Chains A and B, each alone.
Chain A
Amino acid sequence: MAALQNSTLDAMKNNQPQLLTEWIKGLEANGATRNLKEQDLKQQTAEFLHLVVSGLEKGNGQNVAAPGWDEARQYLEKLSHSRALLGQDSHQTASFIFSLKGPVFGLLQSHYKDNPAVLAEQLWEVSELLDALGMHTIRTFQKSREAVIKRQQEELLELSTPVVKLWDGVLALPMIGTLDSQRTQVVMESLLQRIVDTGSEIAIIDITGVPTVDTLVAQHLLKTVTAIRLMGADCIISGVRPQIAQTIVHLGLDLQGVVTKANLADALKLALNRLGITVSKTV
Protein backbone atom coordinates (compact mmCIF):
# COMPACT_ATOMS: atom_id res chain seq x y z
CA MET A 1 0.00 0.00 0.00
CA ALA A 2 1.29 3.43 -0.90
CA ALA A 3 2.14 5.69 1.98
CA LEU A 4 0.90 9.17 2.55
CA GLN A 5 2.77 11.50 0.26
CA ASN A 6 4.65 14.50 1.51
CA SER A 7 2.68 16.61 -0.85
CA THR A 8 -0.51 15.64 1.01
CA LEU A 9 1.09 16.46 4.31
CA ASP A 10 2.22 19.84 3.05
CA ALA A 11 -1.22 20.59 1.71
CA MET A 12 -2.74 19.87 5.14
CA LYS A 13 -0.02 21.73 6.98
CA ASN A 14 -0.33 24.87 4.87
CA ASN A 15 -4.09 25.00 4.93
CA GLN A 16 -4.79 24.50 8.62
CA PRO A 17 -6.90 27.66 9.11
CA GLN A 18 -9.13 26.72 6.18
CA LEU A 19 -9.47 23.13 7.40
CA LEU A 20 -10.36 24.34 10.88
CA THR A 21 -13.10 26.68 9.71
CA GLU A 22 -14.71 24.00 7.59
CA TRP A 23 -14.28 21.38 10.30
CA ILE A 24 -16.06 23.51 12.90
CA LYS A 25 -18.78 24.28 10.39
CA GLY A 26 -19.21 20.57 9.80
CA LEU A 27 -19.31 19.84 13.51
CA GLU A 28 -21.95 22.48 14.06
CA ALA A 29 -24.02 21.14 11.18
CA ASN A 30 -24.27 17.63 12.58
CA GLY A 31 -24.95 18.76 16.12
CA ALA A 32 -21.71 17.50 17.60
CA THR A 33 -21.05 20.85 19.28
CA ARG A 34 -23.99 20.74 21.65
CA ASN A 35 -23.04 21.44 25.29
CA LEU A 36 -19.62 22.64 24.19
CA LYS A 37 -18.31 26.17 24.55
CA GLU A 38 -17.23 27.81 21.29
CA GLN A 39 -13.93 28.74 22.85
CA ASP A 40 -13.20 25.14 23.87
CA LEU A 41 -14.21 23.79 20.50
CA LYS A 42 -11.90 26.18 18.66
CA GLN A 43 -9.04 25.26 20.92
CA GLN A 44 -9.67 21.52 20.74
CA THR A 45 -9.93 21.42 16.95
CA ALA A 46 -6.80 23.53 16.50
CA GLU A 47 -4.80 21.48 18.96
CA PHE A 48 -5.87 18.19 17.50
CA LEU A 49 -5.23 19.19 13.89
CA HIS A 50 -1.80 20.32 14.93
CA LEU A 51 -1.17 16.94 16.58
CA VAL A 52 -2.34 15.06 13.47
CA VAL A 53 0.03 17.08 11.28
CA SER A 54 2.95 16.58 13.64
CA GLY A 55 2.11 12.89 13.93
CA LEU A 56 2.24 12.59 10.16
CA GLU A 57 5.47 14.54 10.03
CA LYS A 58 7.07 11.94 12.27
CA GLY A 59 6.35 9.52 9.45
CA ASN A 60 4.38 6.91 11.35
CA GLY A 61 1.76 6.43 8.70
CA GLN A 62 -1.60 5.06 9.79
CA ASN A 63 -0.30 2.91 12.62
CA VAL A 64 -1.83 4.96 15.43
CA ALA A 65 -0.35 2.59 18.01
CA ALA A 66 3.15 3.75 17.00
CA PRO A 67 5.05 5.92 19.46
CA GLY A 68 4.91 8.88 17.07
CA TRP A 69 1.17 9.09 17.69
CA ASP A 70 1.51 9.05 21.47
CA GLU A 71 0.65 12.71 21.86
CA ALA A 72 -2.36 12.54 19.56
CA ARG A 73 -3.64 9.42 21.30
CA GLN A 74 -3.21 10.89 24.74
CA TYR A 75 -4.97 14.03 23.63
CA LEU A 76 -7.92 11.99 22.37
CA GLU A 77 -8.02 9.98 25.59
CA LYS A 78 -8.20 13.18 27.60
CA LEU A 79 -10.81 14.59 25.27
CA SER A 80 -13.07 11.55 25.30
CA HIS A 81 -12.72 11.32 29.06
CA SER A 82 -13.79 14.93 29.57
CA ARG A 83 -16.68 14.42 27.14
CA ALA A 84 -17.83 11.31 28.95
CA LEU A 85 -17.96 13.38 32.13
CA LEU A 86 -19.93 16.10 30.31
CA GLY A 87 -22.50 13.46 29.47
CA GLN A 88 -21.97 13.51 25.70
CA ASP A 89 -22.74 10.31 23.87
CA SER A 90 -20.31 8.22 21.88
CA HIS A 91 -21.86 9.39 18.61
CA GLN A 92 -21.03 13.04 19.31
CA THR A 93 -17.55 12.20 20.46
CA ALA A 94 -16.78 10.09 17.40
CA SER A 95 -18.20 12.79 15.12
CA PHE A 96 -15.46 15.06 16.36
CA ILE A 97 -12.91 13.03 14.39
CA PHE A 98 -15.04 11.87 11.49
CA SER A 99 -16.16 15.42 10.68
CA LEU A 100 -12.59 16.23 9.81
CA LYS A 101 -12.84 13.92 6.81
CA GLY A 102 -14.99 16.26 4.71
CA PRO A 103 -12.67 19.29 4.84
CA VAL A 104 -9.55 17.17 4.28
CA PHE A 105 -11.11 15.34 1.34
CA GLY A 106 -12.16 18.67 -0.18
CA LEU A 107 -8.68 20.03 0.22
CA LEU A 108 -7.06 16.99 -1.38
CA GLN A 109 -9.55 17.03 -4.21
CA SER A 110 -8.45 20.49 -5.29
CA HIS A 111 -4.81 19.71 -4.51
CA TYR A 112 -4.67 16.61 -6.73
CA LYS A 113 -7.28 17.67 -9.27
CA ASP A 114 -4.97 16.80 -12.16
CA ASN A 115 -4.04 13.36 -10.87
CA PRO A 116 -7.10 11.24 -10.02
CA ALA A 117 -5.07 8.07 -9.35
CA VAL A 118 -2.97 9.71 -6.63
CA LEU A 119 -6.07 11.47 -5.29
CA ALA A 120 -7.88 8.16 -4.75
CA GLU A 121 -4.84 6.63 -3.12
CA GLN A 122 -4.23 9.56 -0.80
CA LEU A 123 -7.90 9.82 0.13
CA TRP A 124 -7.79 6.18 1.18
CA GLU A 125 -4.69 6.76 3.32
CA VAL A 126 -6.17 9.77 5.10
CA SER A 127 -9.44 7.97 5.58
CA GLU A 128 -7.70 4.97 7.15
CA LEU A 129 -5.84 7.22 9.54
CA LEU A 130 -8.89 9.19 10.67
CA ASP A 131 -10.88 5.98 11.09
CA ALA A 132 -8.18 4.54 13.31
CA LEU A 133 -8.10 7.70 15.42
CA GLY A 134 -11.89 7.68 15.58
CA MET A 135 -11.97 4.09 16.75
CA HIS A 136 -9.42 4.88 19.39
CA THR A 137 -11.59 7.72 20.63
CA ILE A 138 -14.67 5.52 20.85
CA ARG A 139 -12.75 2.86 22.71
CA THR A 140 -11.42 5.23 25.32
CA PHE A 141 -14.77 7.01 25.51
CA GLN A 142 -16.42 3.70 26.29
CA LYS A 143 -13.86 2.99 28.98
CA SER A 144 -14.40 6.37 30.60
CA ARG A 145 -18.15 5.86 30.54
CA GLU A 146 -17.80 2.45 32.15
CA ALA A 147 -15.65 4.00 34.87
CA VAL A 148 -18.30 6.68 35.47
CA ILE A 149 -21.05 4.07 35.69
CA LYS A 150 -19.04 1.89 38.04
CA ARG A 151 -18.35 4.83 40.34
CA GLN A 152 -22.00 5.82 40.36
CA GLN A 153 -23.05 2.28 41.19
CA GLU A 154 -20.69 2.22 44.13
CA GLU A 155 -21.89 5.61 45.34
CA LEU A 156 -25.48 4.50 45.04
CA LEU A 157 -24.74 1.39 47.06
CA GLU A 158 -23.26 3.41 49.85
CA LEU A 159 -25.99 6.03 49.78
CA SER A 160 -28.76 3.47 49.78
CA THR A 161 -28.08 2.44 53.36
CA PRO A 162 -26.51 5.07 55.54
CA VAL A 163 -24.98 4.30 58.91
CA VAL A 164 -26.42 6.74 61.45
CA LYS A 165 -25.32 7.66 64.94
CA LEU A 166 -28.18 7.27 67.41
CA TRP A 167 -26.28 8.17 70.54
CA ASP A 168 -22.72 8.58 71.66
CA GLY A 169 -21.41 5.03 71.23
CA VAL A 170 -24.49 3.69 69.44
CA LEU A 171 -24.63 3.29 65.65
CA ALA A 172 -27.65 2.16 63.68
CA LEU A 173 -27.97 0.73 60.21
CA PRO A 174 -31.58 0.92 59.03
CA MET A 175 -31.80 -1.41 56.05
CA ILE A 176 -34.60 -0.91 53.57
CA GLY A 177 -35.67 -2.92 50.56
CA THR A 178 -34.58 -6.24 49.21
CA LEU A 179 -31.08 -7.18 50.17
CA ASP A 180 -28.84 -8.80 47.67
CA SER A 181 -25.56 -10.34 48.60
CA GLN A 182 -23.37 -7.61 47.14
CA ARG A 183 -25.32 -4.76 48.71
CA THR A 184 -25.30 -6.47 52.10
CA GLN A 185 -21.55 -6.89 51.85
CA VAL A 186 -20.83 -3.25 51.02
CA VAL A 187 -23.19 -1.98 53.70
CA MET A 188 -21.78 -4.26 56.35
CA GLU A 189 -18.24 -3.23 55.51
CA SER A 190 -19.09 0.42 55.88
CA LEU A 191 -20.80 -0.31 59.21
CA LEU A 192 -17.66 -2.05 60.50
CA GLN A 193 -15.47 0.83 59.39
CA ARG A 194 -17.77 3.35 61.09
CA ILE A 195 -17.56 1.38 64.33
CA VAL A 196 -13.78 1.81 64.30
CA ASP A 197 -13.92 5.45 63.21
CA THR A 198 -16.41 6.49 65.89
CA GLY A 199 -15.33 4.06 68.60
CA SER A 200 -18.95 2.97 69.02
CA GLU A 201 -19.50 0.02 71.30
CA ILE A 202 -22.93 -0.97 70.07
CA ALA A 203 -24.28 -1.34 66.54
CA ILE A 204 -27.95 -1.90 65.77
CA ILE A 205 -28.89 -3.44 62.44
CA ASP A 206 -32.55 -2.68 61.85
CA ILE A 207 -34.19 -4.85 59.21
CA THR A 208 -37.80 -3.69 59.66
CA GLY A 209 -37.78 -2.47 56.07
CA VAL A 210 -36.51 -5.72 54.64
CA PRO A 211 -39.33 -7.90 53.31
CA THR A 212 -37.35 -11.08 52.86
CA VAL A 213 -33.84 -12.48 52.95
CA ASP A 214 -32.25 -15.40 51.16
CA THR A 215 -29.71 -17.86 52.54
CA LEU A 216 -26.69 -15.85 51.43
CA VAL A 217 -27.94 -12.62 52.92
CA ALA A 218 -28.94 -14.29 56.19
CA GLN A 219 -25.50 -15.85 56.43
CA HIS A 220 -23.95 -12.50 55.68
CA LEU A 221 -25.90 -10.87 58.49
CA LEU A 222 -24.69 -13.51 60.91
CA LYS A 223 -21.10 -13.18 59.72
CA THR A 224 -21.30 -9.44 60.26
CA VAL A 225 -22.53 -9.94 63.81
CA THR A 226 -19.57 -12.23 64.45
CA ALA A 227 -17.10 -9.81 62.85
CA ILE A 228 -18.44 -6.97 64.98
CA ARG A 229 -17.91 -9.08 68.08
CA LEU A 230 -14.33 -9.89 67.04
CA MET A 231 -13.66 -6.16 66.72
CA GLY A 232 -14.81 -5.67 70.27
CA ALA A 233 -18.26 -4.15 69.80
CA ASP A 234 -21.76 -5.55 70.29
CA CYS A 235 -24.47 -5.99 67.72
CA ILE A 236 -28.24 -6.00 68.11
CA ILE A 237 -30.57 -6.98 65.27
CA SER A 238 -33.97 -5.36 65.44
CA GLY A 239 -37.19 -5.61 63.45
CA VAL A 240 -36.97 -9.23 62.39
CA ARG A 241 -40.21 -9.98 60.52
CA PRO A 242 -41.94 -13.33 61.04
CA GLN A 243 -41.10 -14.45 57.48
CA ILE A 244 -37.41 -13.73 58.01
CA ALA A 245 -37.42 -15.46 61.37
CA GLN A 246 -38.94 -18.48 59.63
CA THR A 247 -36.30 -18.38 56.92
CA ILE A 248 -33.53 -18.28 59.48
CA VAL A 249 -34.91 -21.16 61.51
CA HIS A 250 -35.72 -23.10 58.36
CA LEU A 251 -32.17 -22.71 57.07
CA GLY A 252 -30.89 -24.05 60.35
CA LEU A 253 -28.74 -20.97 60.88
CA ASP A 254 -27.41 -20.64 64.36
CA LEU A 255 -28.60 -17.43 65.97
CA GLN A 256 -27.02 -18.27 69.29
CA GLY A 257 -25.25 -15.31 70.77
CA VAL A 258 -27.11 -12.89 68.51
CA VAL A 259 -29.25 -10.41 70.39
CA THR A 260 -32.52 -9.61 68.67
CA LYS A 261 -35.18 -7.05 69.56
CA ALA A 262 -38.67 -6.55 68.18
CA ASN A 263 -38.08 -2.98 67.05
CA LEU A 264 -35.51 -0.22 66.86
CA ALA A 265 -36.83 1.54 69.98
CA ASP A 266 -36.36 -1.57 72.11
CA ALA A 267 -32.90 -2.07 70.66
CA LEU A 268 -31.93 1.50 71.52
CA LYS A 269 -33.31 1.05 75.03
CA LEU A 270 -31.14 -2.03 75.50
CA ALA A 271 -28.11 -0.25 74.06
CA LEU A 272 -28.50 2.73 76.41
CA ASN A 273 -29.02 0.38 79.30
CA ARG A 274 -25.77 -1.41 78.52
CA LEU A 275 -23.92 1.88 78.32
CA GLY A 276 -25.38 2.86 81.70
CA ILE A 277 -27.39 5.74 80.30
CA THR A 278 -30.88 6.49 81.58
CA VAL A 279 -33.31 8.68 79.75
CA SER A 280 -36.05 10.26 81.82
CA LYS A 281 -38.95 12.62 81.33
CA THR A 282 -38.72 16.02 82.96
CA VAL A 283 -41.79 16.65 85.06
Chain B
Amino acid sequence: MDRIPILQMGDFLLVTIQVDMHDQLALTLQDDLSERISRTSARGVLIDISALDMVDSFIGRMIGTISGLSKIMDAETVLVGMQPAVAITLVELGLTLPGVSTALNVERGMKLLQERVREQ
Protein backbone atom coordinates (compact mmCIF):
# COMPACT_ATOMS: atom_id res chain seq x y z
CA MET B 1 0.00 0.00 0.00
CA ASP B 2 1.46 3.36 -0.93
CA ARG B 3 -1.31 5.64 0.27
CA ILE B 4 -3.38 5.95 3.43
CA PRO B 5 -7.07 6.43 2.59
CA ILE B 6 -8.83 9.62 3.67
CA LEU B 7 -12.57 9.33 4.29
CA GLN B 8 -14.97 12.23 4.16
CA MET B 9 -17.80 12.44 6.68
CA GLY B 10 -19.79 15.63 6.11
CA ASP B 11 -17.58 18.56 7.02
CA PHE B 12 -14.88 16.32 8.44
CA LEU B 13 -12.08 14.16 7.11
CA LEU B 14 -11.24 10.87 8.82
CA VAL B 15 -7.88 9.16 8.57
CA THR B 16 -7.31 5.78 10.21
CA ILE B 17 -3.68 4.73 10.25
CA GLN B 18 -3.45 0.97 10.47
CA VAL B 19 -0.11 0.12 8.91
CA ASP B 20 3.43 0.38 10.15
CA MET B 21 4.27 3.49 8.09
CA HIS B 22 7.58 4.12 6.44
CA ASP B 23 8.62 7.75 6.26
CA GLN B 24 7.59 8.39 2.68
CA LEU B 25 4.09 7.09 3.39
CA ALA B 26 3.79 9.57 6.25
CA LEU B 27 4.90 12.44 4.04
CA THR B 28 2.46 11.42 1.32
CA LEU B 29 -0.37 11.40 3.86
CA GLN B 30 0.61 14.90 4.96
CA ASP B 31 0.44 16.17 1.36
CA ASP B 32 -2.78 14.31 0.56
CA LEU B 33 -4.50 15.67 3.64
CA SER B 34 -3.64 19.32 3.04
CA GLU B 35 -4.75 18.94 -0.57
CA ARG B 36 -8.07 17.38 0.52
CA ILE B 37 -8.71 20.04 3.15
CA SER B 38 -8.33 22.81 0.61
CA ARG B 39 -10.35 20.97 -2.07
CA THR B 40 -13.30 20.06 0.18
CA SER B 41 -13.17 23.05 2.56
CA ALA B 42 -13.30 20.54 5.40
CA ARG B 43 -13.75 22.04 8.86
CA GLY B 44 -12.10 19.28 10.80
CA VAL B 45 -9.64 16.38 10.58
CA LEU B 46 -9.79 13.28 12.73
CA ILE B 47 -6.65 11.15 12.88
CA ASP B 48 -7.27 7.73 14.45
CA ILE B 49 -4.05 6.04 15.62
CA SER B 50 -5.60 3.41 17.88
CA ALA B 51 -4.08 0.68 15.72
CA LEU B 52 -0.56 2.11 15.90
CA ASP B 53 1.72 0.35 18.36
CA MET B 54 4.52 2.87 17.93
CA VAL B 55 4.86 6.58 17.21
CA ASP B 56 8.40 7.86 16.74
CA SER B 57 9.61 11.43 16.33
CA PHE B 58 9.00 11.31 12.57
CA ILE B 59 5.34 10.35 12.84
CA GLY B 60 5.00 12.70 15.81
CA ARG B 61 6.33 15.53 13.70
CA MET B 62 3.93 14.62 10.89
CA ILE B 63 0.99 14.82 13.30
CA GLY B 64 2.18 18.21 14.55
CA THR B 65 2.59 19.49 11.01
CA ILE B 66 -0.86 18.30 9.93
CA SER B 67 -2.38 20.01 12.95
CA GLY B 68 -0.54 23.24 12.15
CA LEU B 69 -1.34 23.12 8.45
CA SER B 70 -5.03 22.50 9.00
CA LYS B 71 -5.27 25.34 11.51
CA ILE B 72 -3.99 27.74 8.85
CA MET B 73 -6.58 26.36 6.44
CA ASP B 74 -9.36 26.87 9.02
CA ALA B 75 -9.78 23.24 10.02
CA GLU B 76 -9.41 21.69 13.48
CA THR B 77 -7.37 18.52 13.97
CA VAL B 78 -8.11 15.98 16.67
CA LEU B 79 -5.82 13.04 17.32
CA VAL B 80 -7.66 10.03 18.75
CA GLY B 81 -6.97 6.61 20.23
CA MET B 82 -3.32 6.81 21.28
CA GLN B 83 -2.39 3.66 23.20
CA PRO B 84 -1.01 4.07 26.76
CA ALA B 85 2.38 2.51 25.91
CA VAL B 86 2.69 4.81 22.90
CA ALA B 87 1.80 7.88 24.97
CA ILE B 88 4.35 7.03 27.68
CA THR B 89 7.05 6.42 25.08
CA LEU B 90 6.30 9.64 23.24
CA VAL B 91 6.57 11.67 26.45
CA GLU B 92 9.85 9.91 27.31
CA LEU B 93 11.10 10.71 23.82
CA GLY B 94 10.44 14.38 24.56
CA LEU B 95 7.57 14.83 22.15
CA THR B 96 4.49 16.22 23.87
CA LEU B 97 2.63 17.54 20.80
CA PRO B 98 1.58 20.87 22.31
CA GLY B 99 -1.30 22.44 20.47
CA VAL B 100 -2.64 19.15 19.14
CA SER B 101 -6.14 18.34 20.40
CA THR B 102 -6.76 14.78 21.53
CA ALA B 103 -9.67 12.48 22.34
CA LEU B 104 -10.04 8.92 23.60
CA ASN B 105 -11.78 7.49 20.53
CA VAL B 106 -13.36 8.42 17.20
CA GLU B 107 -16.79 9.03 18.73
CA ARG B 108 -15.46 11.48 21.33
CA GLY B 109 -13.19 13.06 18.74
CA MET B 110 -16.14 13.67 16.46
CA LYS B 111 -18.07 15.29 19.31
CA LEU B 112 -15.11 17.50 20.12
CA LEU B 113 -14.78 18.60 16.49
CA GLN B 114 -18.49 19.45 16.27
CA GLU B 115 -18.27 21.52 19.45
CA ARG B 116 -15.21 23.38 18.20
CA VAL B 117 -16.78 24.15 14.84
CA ARG B 118 -20.02 25.30 16.46
CA GLU B 119 -18.08 27.66 18.73
CA GLN B 120 -16.60 29.47 15.77
Contacts and interface: CB of A to CB of B under 8 A. Distances in A.
Interface of A: 188-189, 192-193, 195-196, 199, 201, 223, 226-233
19 contacts: A188-B88, A189-B84, A192-B84, A192-B87, A192-B88, A196-B83, A196-B104, A201-B104, A201-B108, A223-B88, A226-B96, A227-B84, A227-B91, A231-B87, A231-B104, A232-B80, A232-B103, A232-B105, A233-B104
Given A189-B88, A227-B88, 20 more contacts: A192-B84, A195-B84, A195-B104, A196-B104, A201-B104, A223-B92, A227-B90, A229-B102, A230-B82, A230-B87, A230-B91, A230-B97, A231-B84, A231-B104, A232-B81, A232-B82, A232-B103, A232-B104, A232-B105, A233-B104
Tell me whether chain A's interface is mostly helix, strand or loop, or mixed. helix
Interface in B63-120: 79-84, 87-88, 90-92, 96-97, 102-105, 108-109
B117 to A, nearest CB: 18
Nearest to A194: B84
Contacts of A192: 84, 87-88
Contact of B104 (A199, A223, A226): A199
B105 A223 contact: no
A232 B79 contact: yes
A146 B105 CA distance: 41
A231 B85 CA distance: 10
Contacts of A193: 84
Task: Tell which of A195, A196, A228 has the most Cβ of chain B within 10 Å.
Answer: A196
A230 to B, nearest CB: 4
- In this complex, the interface size class of chain B, counting residues with CB under 8 Å from chain A, is 10 to 19
A189 to B, nearest CB: 7
Contacts of B97: 230
A67 to B, nearest CB: 40
B90 to A, nearest CB: 6
Contacts of A229: 102
Given A232-B82, A232-B103, A227 B87 contact: yes
A226 B83 CA distance: 13
Task: Tell which of A193, A199, A232 has the most Cβ of chain B within 10 Å.
Answer: A232
Across the A-B interface, the 7 shortest Cβ-Cβ residue pairs? A192-B84, A232-B102, A227-B87, A232-B103, A230-B87, A232-B104, A223-B91
A199 B109 CA distance: 12
Given A196-B83, A196-B104, A199-B104, A232 B109 contact: yes
Nearest to A196: B84
Nearest to B78: A232
A230 B91 CA distance: 9
A157 B82 CA distance: 25
B80 to A, nearest CB: 6
Interface string B23-42: 00000000000000000000
Nearest to A229: B102
B104 A230 contact: no
A81 to B, nearest CB: 31
Contacts of A195: 84, 104
Contacts of A196: 83-84, 104
B105 A199 contact: yes
Nearest to A228: B87
B108 A230 contact: no
A62 B116 CA distance: 78
Nearest to A223: B91
Nearest to A234: B102
Contact of A232 (B88, B90, B91, B108): B108
A122 B119 CA distance: 93
Contacts of B79: 230, 232
Contacts of B90: 227, 230
